[in-house]
Structure 1
Amino acid sequence: MDNFKVKLVTFVLGFAIVSSLAPAIRVQASTLTQSTLSNQAMTAIANLDKKKKTIVVDPGHNYGGDLGAASTIKGITYKEVDLNMQVASKLKTELEKRGYNVVMTRYPKEVQTIGTNQSLKDRITIANTANASLFVSIHHNAVKDAPDAKGVEVYYSSAEQSQSFKGGVSPNKLTISKNVATVIDKNIVKNFNFNDRGAKDSRLFIKSTNMPSIIVEAGFITNEEEAKRCSDPVSQQKLAENIAESIKTVI
């Protein structure tokens, strides 16, 4: 009988502990069922330093279903999906040097092949789950039959969140997003003498983040001069440093 009482007490205590943790367990389980989310991203979120601000860096597009732009000039093919990752990885390093946590929506060795809609939803889910202070999506522009198009542009969004992401939006999201976009645009143009296409409002997918968010279009890969610059590691590094320093002045 004594052994039975010991087992009963142990069971009751154990049940109480598990019950108290149930909300957290349900959240984790819900997250894990999102099988298309980057494993590395979710691990990074789980290990965030709570004393630091978090920035989510999004290398736009993937390797199937959401390919992004590509351009072949004089036998050289420039792929946006690769260039985005190259710049984003350098930006991650520069932001970490400046004291931020950084979570990426996809990592260099992850070869994602999911459709555009799910791909975009996953990027927003990662950012909102990380409770980030800023979401920065890196892209490269392309325009067919307009090889002279060039320059950098930075987008923010004043549009309402899509229905599946309603709720939780920061009240100062638009103000900060616009400020960050403007600062990055002006600093890039000033320091690199790029053609200024400006900071622009949009209805792009960044509308659904809870936190301030921007898209940096780093140049036109359909322009021969800019394609060379966009694929040059030295230029990528300078761009990453400039974006990180610009962010530091605002976030």
Structure 2
Amino acid sequence: SYGDRLVVDLYLSKVKEYKPVKQINSSGGKRDVIVVIDPGHGGEDPGAIGPGKVREKNVVLSISKELARQINAVKGYRAYLTRESDYFIGLRKRTEIARKRNADLFVSVHADAFTRPQANGASVFALSKKGASSEAARWLAKRENASDLIGGSGVNLGDHDDMLASVLLDLSSTASLRASLSVGDRVLQSLGGVARLHKRQVEQAGFMVLKSPDIPSILVETGFISNPTESRRLNTRSYQRKIAGSISKGVKSYFSDQPPIGTWLASNQSKSGSSYTVKKGDTLSQIAHNNA
């Protein structure tokens, strides 16, 4: 609607450059689980605009800030935002920030829109298999990307290990997608406790911000900003806290069961976990029950 134009975005240096950082060791020498939260749109990109000129970029920033606050309030977690105020960040830059933060999970927060105001409900997306395949091809086409991706494996690709790079990238992408679907399901079920769901299963699409081959990533559509009722709710602090709380609950539920190796959560789980010694004459059902 603007017609031809030239846009120049100016960033503060602390926003423009994100250098790789060591993961936080604030929990007894063990690192925290890192969650990078991405408020969609921003700056010249307002996102969807609902009744009363409610702008998606403002709603999702408020929800994301509250989500970060709730996650940071729990021992063993550390949350970062890709943007902390009203400015635009390119889509690939958002995933770069997550990688440089050594993220265990990337959560992009949005508000949906449709041509008909009746459309409603929250959704959760993970990357589609087709999107994962196309991104893998892009990474392999740039060998420096592939080297960065598997650098932590201790493998030296050299100039001739294209097959090895392809296999390792495929393994990493498959594991990340599986984790994305799993954490997405936890978040979706939690969202269902406070909001109407648009779909009752995690959907898959080729969203650019979900294309990190090595970082589990989900995109949360918190509701339809084009729906008058949901737009009003999404624009209130009380509902924003509820939505953030449900996302936080789903994330923590997943990591409680699947704590990353080397984290305080994993260490605490192993210390608090009970064990059962199998005795002669025990049946399989008894063993399973005592180890549940």
Same fold per superposition (TM over 0.5): yes
Q: Percent identity?
A: 25
Higher RCO (Cα < 8 Å, 6 or more apart): 2
Give the aligned partner of residue 101 of structure 1.
78
Equivalent position to 2:32, from 34, 40, 52: 52
Deviations along 1:200-224, one digit per CA (max 9) or x if unpaired, are 0111113421200000000011111
Structure 1 CA distance, aligned partners of 2:222 and 2:252?
Answer: 19
Equivalent position to 1:128, from 77, 96, 99: 99
Structure 2 CA distance, aligned partners of 1:63 and 1:200?
Answer: 28
Give the aligned partner of residue 25 of structure 1.
none
How far off is 1:130 after superposition?
A: 1.3
Structure 2 CA distance, aligned partners of 1:79 and 1:192?
Answer: 22
Structure 2 stretches lacking a partner, 5+ long: 1-9, 26-30, 150-168, 256-292
How far off is 1:98 after superposition?
A: 1.9
Within 5 Å, which residues of 2 pair with 1:39-188?
A: 39-40=14-15, 46=21, 48-50=23-25, 51-64=31-44, 66-71=45-50, 73=51, 76-99=52-75, 100-108=77-85, 111-113=86-88, 119-144=90-115, 146-157=116-127, 158=129, 159-160=131-132, 161=135, 163=138, 167=146, 168=149, 170=172, 171-188=174-191
Give the aligned partner of residue 251 of structure 2.
247
How far off is 1:44 after superposition?
A: 9.0
Aligned residues between the structures: 205
CA contact (8 A) 2:82 2:97 kept: yes
AA at the equivalent of 1:67: P
Q: CA RMSD in A?
A: 2.4
Q: Does 1:201 align with 2:211?
A: no
CA contact (8 A) 1:156 1:206 kept: no
How far off is 1:67 after superposition?
A: 2.9
CA contact (8 A) 1:38 1:106 kept: no
How far off is 1:41 after superposition?
A: 8.3
Alpha carbons of 1:45 and 1:230: their partners in 2 closer, same or farther (altered >3 Å)?
A: farther
The TM-score, its normalising length taken from structure 1, stands at: 0.74
Alpha carbons of 1:36 and 1:174: their partners in 2 closer, same or farther (altered >3 Å)?
A: farther
Alpha carbons of 1:38 and 1:208: their partners in 2 closer, same or farther (altered >3 Å)?
A: farther
SS at match of 2:118: coil
AA at the equivalent of 2:219: I
Structure 2 CA distance, aligned partners of 1:85 and 1:153?
Answer: 18
SS at match of 2:247: helix
The TM-score, its normalising length taken from structure 2, stands at: 0.64
Structure 2 CA distance, aligned partners of 1:140 and 1:38?
Answer: 29
Structure 1 stretches lacking a partner, 5+ long: 1-34
Structure 2 CA distance, aligned partners of 1:80 and 1:186?
Answer: 23
* Range with bigger deviation, 240-249 or 211-220: 240-249
- Which ranges of 4 or more aligned residues in structure 1 deviate by more than 4 Å? 35-38, 40-45
CA contact (8 A) 1:41 1:106 kept: no
Alpha carbons of 1:241 and 1:44: their partners in 2 closer, same or farther (altered >3 Å)?
A: farther
Structure 1 CA distance, aligned partners of 2:72 and 2:107?
Answer: 14
